A and B are shown apart, each in its own frame.
Chain A
């Protein structure tokens, strides 16, 4: 059986998230990997899922009874890789040479066969939720109880495949599927409410028959409450996590230039100070 989540106190999650933020920023600088803003907006969600919710044993990552977690917004893979390393799926030293020729670690997650802890090779948006839905349905069909979690971006909700999945999940009353939408209000080239008519996002998911909770996506207590409140709801669950792109570093917050910008060495040092990381 997969081990239960670690259930650290919520306070320790904050320090974990800050440490990971620093590693993500430093890796971006060293490897030239973009999407910092997207990583920083969802890293708190990832930490919550991996340390509080997802039942999985890093030493037995293919256990059929494990919970599944999919980072559907695959361009935040630099955050996921740091999370998986810290959670023990592989040694942190494996991340050395990040982005170099022949490395597994780049801008998007590789396939599950290539790297322990990965459930879906995302990067093209709109695939994680439908694949996760298939995994959630497989739990019911095979009689193996487990839950499936996915983190989507708000921009990703442009993709129609998500809404196809939302309809089927609702019709099939898939209760073991929970998604969190990293609602940072930006996509690559503009405000996510302006590029396409995303708002009102929570109402859209409600209208599709999902159990919806809106939270502060940087508040671990909010996350814990949302999960606890809806644990027994028979519907698929959507957590609309209001977040700030670039969260944690003042000069990156809500500045969409950091979708692609790579930090300089000085900016890495500045960020470390703000995050309370000793040099």
Chain B
């Protein structure tokens, strides 16, 4: 008995050794499959389907059928969708540098040795991030509309005409401003946290070498927080491509924001207003792939520069 039990227990141990990590991973795998893989698979399935009429007549019934690449073709050839991509890019060119620039500036200021009321300032800058995007857009909407805007009121008192915050190109800045207001705090916290992780000995060495605070910031802090900048930059790019709630909330107040102003609005419109789930799914797949490609390219580009060749 003992002679035979030895190898079998050994196998059991090996089986256990192989099974254990899977066991621990099971909850994650199950959730990942349920809430990510299956919906994505379903969306891809839907993107090849569409409603077509069955039975003739003016009131023939719409039936879901396989339509091949029709949905992809119409998404890619739809001028509205492509124009929407152009708009988010323009918006991103304005919003991303200003959000990251200000976030970095605030983080560096908070990190200078003699700063006062650091805790208060940090919270105050972070606070707008806690306001939901839709609420923030509504608040800013009221500040932008001529009849309710104190800014316009002041401008008129000072002799300037009524300000049009929804015209071109002002609209892009108005939207970027909302992103700025709510996004700076979040990015600042990430950069600030990364700044606090830098050992103080490096600064001491720099000061002994006679470096000013400005030089320390420029030559030591910024290069050392570059990974955090890449991270926040990547988040901002993805966030930009997924721009939705600000323009969608401002739309009813303005003439200039169409229902398909940005890609996500277009997708929403197709799915929930035009009852074209297939078209919406195809547009979503295209958008997701686009985001993936851009993210990978950005990462590859910055990885080499910030993390060195071994990364």
Q: Do A and B come from one complex?
A: no
